[in-house]
Structure 1
């Protein structure tokens, strides 16, 4: 590497990314994707919303741009030794197709939890030029194995985001949309995982049109870039949520951090419900279904529009990918109503006596019930889990006050993950036998042996007093477990949780659990 290139990689700036993006050879394989108006959403928000359709790429993701641009720069010796990559899916597909077009052997390491649709696509795009290795439960595991194989084989590692040629390939999206929309443009919203897309788009837009805001969007439970920018340095997250699996990164890149720190105007965090609502918005306007990471930018755009009103120009969201597992749609549909604030969820306590249910229905007024769960369990009080359709902001608060005016106890559970994911299916589960019960939510890898590992490591004297699982098509299973653990063994419980290694949340003090399930 010559001195100029080494300096560029040590201190990357917008001018460097712009120069490399203008010279990028991505269009050997990638398409110039459409910049389409989202007419229905624009009318609803009162602002011009445009969608940059990277889900239309041959691999249904923007990742092809960066992967191909990096691999096209390899010299003859490097091509002879092949390339290696680690990816949960979209980068892998880009590397596979690039390998096939450039006739370079590629070894791609994917976690065993990667969606099958993505694993199959990698094999299909890469053909005889690609070897797929399944290893580990996470991207970090796959990356470690890829580095081991790289050293063993002497192959070139194609990083999914922390490489200037990869960043420049993704930056061509920014160049395209500036050409496609030369009128008033207020802000461009981009999803962030490791930061390659955000770094590239922000750099070229600030180099060409510094007045346009560039805003990154992350899932609230996978916010490595937001945390890094707040800390002023790269940080490593202990755990990341897996719903938006394409952006589930524990640490952002060195170069991507420097570029985002310098050129991004802001980073927004959005929750799972907001992502599901954005998936539905994109479907309603385009009849296409993005993956969760592909809808991140639009979820952030909607949050921005709600907070700041009508801006002085269009808002653009990059729809980054559409490699969605079909089975996950059930979960998305279930949560989109809450994400769009069209459903509120409550736990309501009413007297177990004649006339109470009539008063409860009267308090609901004209609202439609979307879900109702009740089971008799007490001679004095009835606990009801109810979903209510809403049409505008403020209705949750009005309903809460209406319940209280009737002397009903009420918990607003609309933002309570435990209630929405598990308790809504388990009403009536109190038991006087569940002494010393501790309640935990776990993310289990969705593969054979995950539950067996849990049971094998659990103390043989502890009893499972509650267990709930519902498959929703993701790469991991969400499990709710009640464990009966004597108070003097809570230290052993913490040791068990630490060695198990599964992401978990202690819900023992959750108010909904204490009201509806705890004896």
Structure 2
């Protein structure tokens, strides 16, 4: 029997033995079924509903519960970016074992706070360095000096066996068999434990490993035929931000995975948004990584039954704004085009009316930087076929354009404008009824009265669209006449508030 085969058999036995330990702590998590409009039957394993809102407690408890009395008396030490730390904290408190946990200083506050709450007096948290690797190095030094037992976040048979109980619950749920499972990979403990047990019970299942771009340590090991350490790790998906795949987990993953892919942070954000829309499930970025991988291959799995593990939901509330902002860039139906047109009054109305029809405009960025030529960045939702039609219409009407989706300045909404080109401007917060075609209606309504010199709008999911808009006029009389018109609100405008003098002055001083 080869070494990987021997290890695999050992891990299968460990999963069986882990059952009686794991269910002392918590009941099985739900396995929810959803029919996706693309024809895929999706099964979500909701580890976000576990005691620490992550699967990591399973491996941690299974490992600590097997310590000898002597080792337990010494106490344990570990390093974690958050979820494993919570698992160790909960397990240490339940088993009466002292734990010292090293975490990067960059660990989200939500996870730091949760570690202290789950562990209570049993846990000491030490924040050090800026990466998981820094925390591991410090923990290893402490282990050597203190004699505490080091508990790996993913690279120990007892940890892997504990994570494998997720697949055990799936197997006995009665909802199988399944055609595929998309498994996120950080250090590899989750994918190795679940993958082994799924293959045991459903031999024909296809296992697809999913890593995040910028943190693909398994792919690096695969190319070198052995684990290697990444020089730099992207930490957006912080739960899988591991610089080196495990020595135990790598040979297992190499043997059981049928396919592999990487997903971008934008794709992960889009996956989070879709999981919320479909299942009212709000995972952390690493928790949505498997679903992001499935979204990449929806056509391939049409008519099939596919598993995805929602492995955690420990996320800082403030990060939700970043995720919501990035989600559109991971959606292939959203496109940002930079369109050139003349600065004359009414030209923008002609553009929107002739080329975009009732397509949904979800982002609009414009600032005047030239007296005769304007460049508007319009983000809209369209299928590939619809986008081709828009492109043909733009060309036919003499509007040159380029695709700027994902460009850094577009992402950060850098809207330049030159105040020296303005004569008698007004800047205002405008509220509109949010519906398809609203931006075009607003532009058409304004065309006879004012020329737009600035437009900053982004879809927020509210019933009201909010925009910061600049209007410019040839003389003071026109400006005062517009102010009178603005007070008589008309559809689609529901609110108009001119900026105060101080705010307007700051804008114009730029």
TM-score by length of 1: 0.76
How do 1:131-170 residues align onto structure 2 when only pairs under 5 Å count?
131-170=124-163
Match of 1:336 in 2: 327
On the 8 A contact 1:12/1:258 being kept in 2, the answer is no
Match of 2:229 in 1: 236
User: Aligned equivalents of 1:48 and 1:324: distance in 2?
Assistant: 27
Of 401, 406, 412, the residue aligned with 1:410 is: 401
Q: Give the direction of change, closer, same or farther, for the CA distance of 1:185–1:381 in structure 2 (3 Å limit).
A: same
Of 338, 343, 346, the residue aligned with 1:347 is: 338
On the 8 A contact 2:369/2:416 being kept in 1, the answer is no
Larger Rg: 2
- Offset at residue 12 of structure 1 (A): 5.1
Q: Give the direction of change, closer, same or farther, for the CA distance of 1:165–1:398 in structure 2 (3 Å limit).
A: farther
Q: Does 1:428 align with 2:417?
A: yes
Q: Give the direction of change, closer, same or farther, for the CA distance of 1:12–1:299 in structure 2 (3 Å limit).
A: farther
Q: Give the direction of change, closer, same or farther, for the CA distance of 1:104–1:394 in structure 2 (3 Å limit).
A: farther
- Offset at residue 60 of structure 1 (A): 0.4
Q: Give the direction of change, closer, same or farther, for the CA distance of 1:12–1:147 in structure 2 (3 Å limit).
A: farther
User: Aligned equivalents of 1:64 and 1:419: distance in 2?
Assistant: 41
Q: Give the direction of change, closer, same or farther, for the CA distance of 1:84–1:429 in structure 2 (3 Å limit).
A: farther
Once the two structures are superposed, what CA deviation does each residue of 1:181-209 show, in whole Å capped at 9, x if it has no partner?
45441011111111110011111122232
Q: Give the direction of change, closer, same or farther, for the CA distance of 1:78–1:288 in structure 2 (3 Å limit).
A: same
> Which SS does the other structure have where 1:388 is aligned?
strand
- Offset at residue 113 of structure 1 (A): 0.8
Q: Give the direction of change, closer, same or farther, for the CA distance of 1:156–1:397 in structure 2 (3 Å limit).
A: farther
Q: Does 1:37 align with 2:33?
A: yes
Q: What is the Cα-based RMSD across aligned positions, in Å?
A: 2.2
Q: Does 1:78 align with 2:71?
A: yes
How do 1:187-226 residues align onto structure 2 when only pairs under 5 Å count?
187-226=180-219
Q: Does 1:127 align with 2:120?
A: yes
On the 8 A contact 1:400/1:412 being kept in 2, the answer is no
- After TM superposition, the structure 1 stretch with the greater mean CA deviation from structure 2, 136-145 or 212-221, is 212-221
- Offset at residue 408 of structure 1 (A): 2.6
User: Aligned equivalents of 1:20 and 1:430: distance in 2?
Assistant: 69
On the 8 A contact 1:14/1:207 being kept in 2, the answer is no
User: Aligned equivalents of 2:262 and 2:418: distance in 1?
Assistant: 34
User: Aligned equivalents of 1:366 and 1:403: distance in 2?
Assistant: 15
Match of 1:508 in 2: none
Q: Give the direction of change, closer, same or farther, for the CA distance of 1:283–1:196 in structure 2 (3 Å limit).
A: same
Q: Does 1:360 align with 2:351?
A: yes
How do 1:89-488 residues align onto structure 2 when only pairs under 5 Å count?
89-306=82-299, 308-311=300-303, 313-361=304-352, 362-390=354-382, 392-416=383-407, 418-422=408-412, 424-428=413-417
Q: Give the direction of change, closer, same or farther, for the CA distance of 1:220–1:81 in structure 2 (3 Å limit).
A: same
Q: Give the direction of change, closer, same or farther, for the CA distance of 1:32–1:309 in structure 2 (3 Å limit).
A: closer
Q: Does 1:50 align with 2:40?
A: no
- Offset at residue 227 of structure 1 (A): 3.2
- Offset at residue 384 of structure 1 (A): 1.4
Of 49, 62, 69, the residue aligned with 1:69 is: 62
Once the two structures are superposed, what CA deviation does each residue of 1:84-132 show, in whole Å capped at 9, x if it has no partner?
0101100000000000011010000111111111101100100111000
Once the two structures are superposed, what CA deviation does each residue of 1:333-357 show, in whole Å capped at 9, x if it has no partner?
2232343334221222223345532
Q: Matched residue pairs, number? A: 417
Q: Which runs of 5+ in 1 are unaligned?
A: 432-519
> Which SS does the other structure have where 1:404 is aligned?
helix
- After TM superposition, the structure 1 stretch with the greater mean CA deviation from structure 2, 265-274 or 398-407, is 398-407
User: Aligned equivalents of 1:12 and 1:352: distance in 2?
Assistant: 72
Once the two structures are superposed, what CA deviation does each residue of 1:126-158 show, in whole Å capped at 9, x if it has no partner?
011100001011111111111111111101110
Of 11, 14, 27, the residue aligned with 1:17 is: 11
Once the two structures are superposed, what CA deviation does each residue of 1:24-76 show, in whole Å capped at 9, x if it has no partner?
122222431110012xxx24121211100001110000000011111111111
Once the two structures are superposed, what CA deviation does each residue of 1:153-184 show, in whole Å capped at 9, x if it has no partner?
10111000111111111111111111114544
- After TM superposition, the structure 1 stretch with the greater mean CA deviation from structure 2, 397-406 or 339-348, is 397-406
- After TM superposition, the structure 1 stretch with the greater mean CA deviation from structure 2, 11-20 or 213-222, is 11-20
- Offset at residue 359 of structure 1 (A): 3.4
Q: Which runs of 5+ in 2 are unaligned?
A: 421-510
Q: Give the direction of change, closer, same or farther, for the CA distance of 1:429–1:168 in structure 2 (3 Å limit).
A: farther
User: Aligned equivalents of 1:303 and 1:94: distance in 2?
Assistant: 31
TM-score by length of 2: 0.77
User: Aligned equivalents of 1:279 and 1:227: distance in 2?
Assistant: 26
- After TM superposition, the structure 1 stretch with the greater mean CA deviation from structure 2, 98-107 or 279-288, is 279-288
- Offset at residue 380 of structure 1 (A): 3.7
